[in-house]
Amino acid sequence: MALGLLLGLRFLGDEAIHFSNIGLNLLLLLVSAKLAVFLHEWGHLLFAKLAGGTPRRMVLGRGSEIARTEWLGVKIILARNFNLGLAYAGFDDSKRLHFKLACYYAGGFILNFSLAFALYSSLDLEFTFAEGLYLESSFFLANVITGVSALFPYRLSYQGQKVNSDGLSLVRLPFRTKEELMALTAANDFLDALDYFEEKQYSKCLVIYERYQAKNPKNKFINLNLALVHMKLGDVPKAIGLLEELIPLAGDSAYAHLKLPFYNALAWIYLLKDQIELADQYSKMAFDLSDENEAVKNTRGSVLIEKGELEEGLALLKGSVNFKLANDDSLAASIYLALAYHKLGEPKKTKQYNLFIEENRELLDWDLQFLYKRVKQQLALAPRS
């Protein structure tokens, strides 16, 4: 719509053309900014590779996932709001790890600045944006802005979790302890486990986590990962036991970064056990920490619908379903959206979400199968064999 309006201005005379040029150059800058973010993340992965690491994955944007692909061995995940990115690489060898991490952290803005310099030195860039359309200048500015913003040392919020900017990661790097650096060498193992988890190969995932636990028996961070895998395998008592070990540690500053996923995992497991009061308590605690995390929003919305607070639950879940991408988020949200619309007396919408679940029934893990059977009893639909 904005593009059509700006193009239409070009037929209204010279003065209007100037406004059109300014608007169109701003649109070019916005598009260039997204490309600059993409290149920034590739810069991280490229320099990690040059330093001896293994590029693994890239996440573009925040919010619910809308697409994913793989290129040059790197998993690329596109989220709904494409306004930032994250790049993941692993280093197995701890030798010269400070140098390797410095290359990895700096790779993004090095590539942005290199591209900007190449454009500036080879082209006669124009910045009088009212006089014409300048794609090269927009791309130059986008790379400069992206590179400079990454250099500032600050913390930003991603899915409700605080992450360091590239600049802050570099500032803190010399002060990393030996234990922290050694923990980073397990990144490839954890990324392998994440791949297995997303591929629903939970037994392979469990092997990696249990091996890490055996090597680090005092480290309770791994309990959360183990609990999620046991839940997916249907061992709810084991999952609850692992999570409840973390409850006394929730106030410890060392575990502060785990509060959000920990409370959310507890809420989901208590929802499975039909202990709605506890599910409500922990889902609210997670939601109070962050209302932008997709998993937290989905859990909170599901619990609210179970409690009968239908409109509030619907508001949280509606944006989580992508009918073209039958992943856990879409299917889990569809289960409770079907229930909410059934209780609101809207059969067409109930059927729409229920049909989506039925068409992808084989993709439901144990926890979603369990919840779907329970919800289907409330929908008064005969279970499918």
The DSSP-derived string for 210-227 is HHHHHH-TT--THHHHHH
10: its two tokens: 């070009």
SS3 at position 327? coil
Q: Which amino acid is at 52?
A: G
Give the domain 262-380 fold: 1.25.40
Q: Are 335 and 356 in contact (CB under 8 A)?
A: no
DSSP state of 263: H
Read off the pTM.
0.85
C-alpha 336/C-alpha 372 separation (Å) is 9
* Cβ atoms < 10 Å from Cβ of 348: 7
Helical H segments across 234-365, by residue range? 236-244, 259-272, 276-289, 294-307, 310-317, 328-343, 347-359
- Same fold yes or no, 186-249 and 262-380: yes
88 — phi, psi (to 5°)?
-125, 130
Give the domain 186-249 fold: 1.25.40
- For residue 382, the model assigns a pLDDT of 44
Q: Are 283 and 263 in contact (CB under 8 A)?
A: yes
SS3 at position 253? helix
Domain boundaries, the chain: 2-175, 186-249, 262-380
C-alpha 315/C-alpha 302 separation (Å) is 11
The gap from C-alpha 332 to its chain's centroid, in whole angstroms, comes to 17
- For residue 250, the model assigns a pLDDT of 78
- For residue 258, the model assigns a pLDDT of 84
* Cβ atoms < 10 Å from Cβ of 278: 15
C-alpha 150/C-alpha 146 separation (Å) is 6
Residue with tokens 């209007």: 16
- For residue 14, the model assigns a pLDDT of 59
DSSP state of 384: P
First-to-final CA distance of the chain: 48
- For residue 377, the model assigns a pLDDT of 87
C-alpha 50/C-alpha 127 separation (Å) is 35
* Cβ atoms < 10 Å from Cβ of 159: 18
C-alpha 336/C-alpha 298 separation (Å) is 9
Q: Return per-residue pLDDT of the chain as tens, 385 residues.
A: 565 555 555 556 556 666 677 777 788 889 999 999 999 999 999 999 999 999 999 999 988 888 899 998 999 999 888 888 999 999 988 788 999 999 999 999 999 999 999 999 998 888 776 677 778 999 999 999 999 999 999 988 887 788 899 999 999 999 888 777 877 888 899 999 999 999 999 999 999 999 999 988 888 889 999 999 999 999 999 999 999 888 888 778 777 788 899 999 999 999 999 999 999 999 999 999 988 888 999 999 999 999 999 999 999 998 888 888 888 999 999 999 999 999 999 999 999 999 999 999 999 999 999 999 999 888 875 444 3
> In b/e form, how buried is each residue of 291-311, taking b as 16+ CB within 10 angstroms?
eebbbbbbbbbbbbbbeeebe
* Cβ atoms < 10 Å from Cβ of 4: 7
* Secondary-structure percent of the chain, ordered helix, strand, coil, rounded to 5: 70, 10, 20
Beta strands in the chain (DSSP E): 54-71, 74-90, 155-158, 161-164
